[in-house]
Structure 1
């Protein structure tokens, strides 16, 4: 069986090589690119995100990333967002009083964490539902977070009864925030699996296995 082909979206995000190496480590055939043929035709697309919400949104716009991500999701093709790559999938981000429109795949606002110590930096546990396939075998593990902002409320209104609601995993720093979402072809984590040791590698392996 050939290795799943994964493209890491190259739109100027920092520390992107660690994501490439982590995916290669778990058996993916990885391409770092923003070329439409690489983004649209890969078995899986990984969208990294480091820095400010507004900067990530602008970087994605500069390479036509928003349209390409939207096309993949509409066609049922897998996408995995990491850190700010999760945040921009929500409706909006508010940083330093400035509101930036997100992709709107999920309802919610990215805001500063309500904690005494920010950023939230280091290892933390998550509360993954039993139906999660992303966290299969690693529900009791810790993952590495580096962020000052997050989505702290979830109000997903399923207007179509036959529609399966997303699987939401939570963590806590000062209060609860979303640590991961699994929604059909669209998956995202607030933490960095590529920096989360064996647990992060298994999470990426779980995602990769879903591409086969």
Structure 2
């Protein structure tokens, strides 16, 4: 990564969790443990029942706590869903293609980035499917999700432009459009494989295919 403050700020993706729904952490360790247990229970119920069909009583039953305990930490289903997102989003969202140093093999960097993405997606496949559902019914969440996705697209575009400037990628391709197309391809491939499909099959083959398509599209040399 570049060491400049401006670029570091640009590389910090916005949150998908609605900040207006997030409260400060409890002051005591016991309170923090209870809150964490409620968030874990809520994620399990959301993934099992779906966002629309989840009821607060389902969450409290999963967490083995009372409704009063729930309302000590959260006021609604929307609020605890925001907390679930805040906790999970760094693991489930693609960190993007990192900066490629002069001595690095850019094709290997693309492969490593794709591997990290697909492995995170596999770990969070149920949640990723849930996010598709929520995006269809919650305009604010959809806006935040799109904003975060756009940040990763622009990060990848900067990496592509850097490769172009060093003669390591096709200079005639628009880096932003290329990033949008390739990032969308990888995202939908993961969704189709891990959410719509059963996620079975050779993960290495999936990564290799995605990497070949990305590298070939940009005409990146492979060592």
User: What TM-score, normalized by structure 2, do the two folds share?
Assistant: 0.25
Larger Rg: 2
User: What TM-score, normalized by structure 1, do the two folds share?
Assistant: 0.26
Give 1 or 2: higher strand fraction: 1
Higher relative contact order (CA 8 A, sep 6+): 2
